[in-house]
Amino acid sequence: MPELFGHTRAHVGRRHALITPKNHVNSTLPGVTGATAVVLVSPAMGAQVAQTLLTFESGGAARFGAGEAQTFGYVMDGGARVEIAGKGRRLKAGGFFYCPAGSDWALSMPRRGTRVTLFQKKYAALPGVKAPKALFGDQSRVKGAPFLGDPAANLQVLLPDMAAFDMAVNLFAYQPGGHLPFVEVHVMEHGLVMLSGEGVYRLEDSWYPVRAGDAVWMAPYCAQWFVAMGKVPARYLYYKDVNRPPI
Ligand code: UGY
Ligand code: MN
């Protein structure tokens, strides 16, 4: 149903943004066929990261050439084969991959309706540290831990915590009523997609109801806080830049 009288939950500001599934407009992207692509976060809004949602028809495909950008991909539902520089793996929902800058990757044989979230960012090399290699994983094999000791907020860190990586991608799961322990204000930027459940996100001086499918961008130093509401746990996948000196 269209939202009444042009109302929307979306907000795009200078320092944060919320985009809901009802706001989606497809982009045509080179190398993407038989799929829709919605660019939810990008340098066009002031971000240093791009967050893109790909939704595949059966027979769809994506082929991204080697470049300066590294790519993290997370299969939200469905399944597909992913190849990075010629090495492949079939990923199902919860599967993920990391393709380093300078390598090409391709997705093929998707199940109809497969949705993949991509985070892409130019790689910042660290002198004396070798760049990371490609990797594949599955969230079901990543151990979670209570966030700052709170069992109502479980954090899974999907990428290795090593100086070679200048980006982190994590999964947060909150029991209903679970929340971030305090209002965070930090130099790291976030791109985020709600995977399930609902809650309220505080972004700077505004509070937004959010639910599965919503995408959020938080610029560096955007004050942020989240509380899960409803009857089922709320889960989100998010990106953050890490491991690099501020200047
Ligand atoms: O890793 C983080 O900064 C995380 N606690 N932020 C967030 O969930 N908004
Ligand atoms: Mn944060």
64 C-alpha vs ligand 1 centroid, how far in Å?
A: 29
Write out pLDDT tens, residues 112-134: 999 999 999 999 999 999 999 99
Express as a percent the part of the chain with pLDDT over 70: 99
Residue 197 and residue 97 share a domain: no
Confirm whether 15 is domain-assigned. no
Statement to judge: residues 127 and 36 lie in one domain: yes
Verify that 100 and 39 share a domain, yes or no: yes
- Residue 177 placed within a domain: yes
Do residue 34 and residue 91 come from a single domain? Answer: yes
Contacts of 157 (CB under 8 A, 6+ apart): 142, 168, 170
Is ligand 1 within 6 A of the CB of residue 154? no
Which pLDDT tens digit goes with each residue over 173-217?
999 999 999 999 999 999 999 999 999 999 999 999 999 999 999
Best of 172, 189, 195, 243 for a ligand 1 pocket test (most atoms within 8 Å of beta carbon): 172
Per-chain residues with Cβ under 5 A from ion ligand 2 = 184
Residues 68 and 167 in one domain: no
Instruction: Tell me the C-alpha to C-alpha distance, in Å, between residue 154 and each of 43, 182, 190.
Output: 30, 15, 18
Q: What percent of the chain has pLDDT over 90?
A: 98
Query: Is 11 domain-assigned?
Result: no
Question: Of 140, 169, 199, which one is at a domain's C-terminal end?
Answer: 140
Regarding the beta carbon of 224 and ligand 1, being less than 6 Å apart is answered yes
At 150 the three-state DSSP class reads strand
What domain count does the chain have?
A: 2
Residues 124 and 147 in one domain: no
Using CA atoms, how far apart are residues 169 and 121, in angstroms rounded to an integer?
A: 12
Is the minimum distance from the CB of 235 to ligand 1 under 6 angstroms? no
Report pLDDT for 12.
98
| 30 and 102 co-located in one domain | yes
Neighbours of 168 (CB within 10 A): 19
Tell whether 30 is covered by a domain.
yes
165 and 117 together in one domain: no
Q: Does residue 6 fall inside a structural domain?
A: no
CATH of the domain at 57: 2.60.120.10
Distance CA 34, CA 13 (A): 32
- Residue 5 inside a domain? The answer is no
pLDDT, tens digit (0-9, with 9 covering 90-100), for 137-169: 999 999 999 999 999 999 999 999 999 999 999
Q: Among the three residues 140, 171, 200, which one is the final residue of a domain in this structure?
A: 140
Residue from 193, 194, 240 whose mutation best tests the ligand 1 pocket (most atoms within 8 A of CB) = 240
Q: 218, 28 in Cβ contact below 8 A?
A: no
Ligand 1 contacts CB of residue 217 (under 6 A) = no
Does residue 54 form part of some domain?
A: yes
- Which residues span the domain enclosing 103? 24-140
Instruction: Kindly state whether residues 124 and 186 are assigned to the same domain.
Output: no
**Does pTM top 0.95 for this prediction?**
yes
Query: Torsions phi, psi of 21, nearest 5?
Result: -55, -30
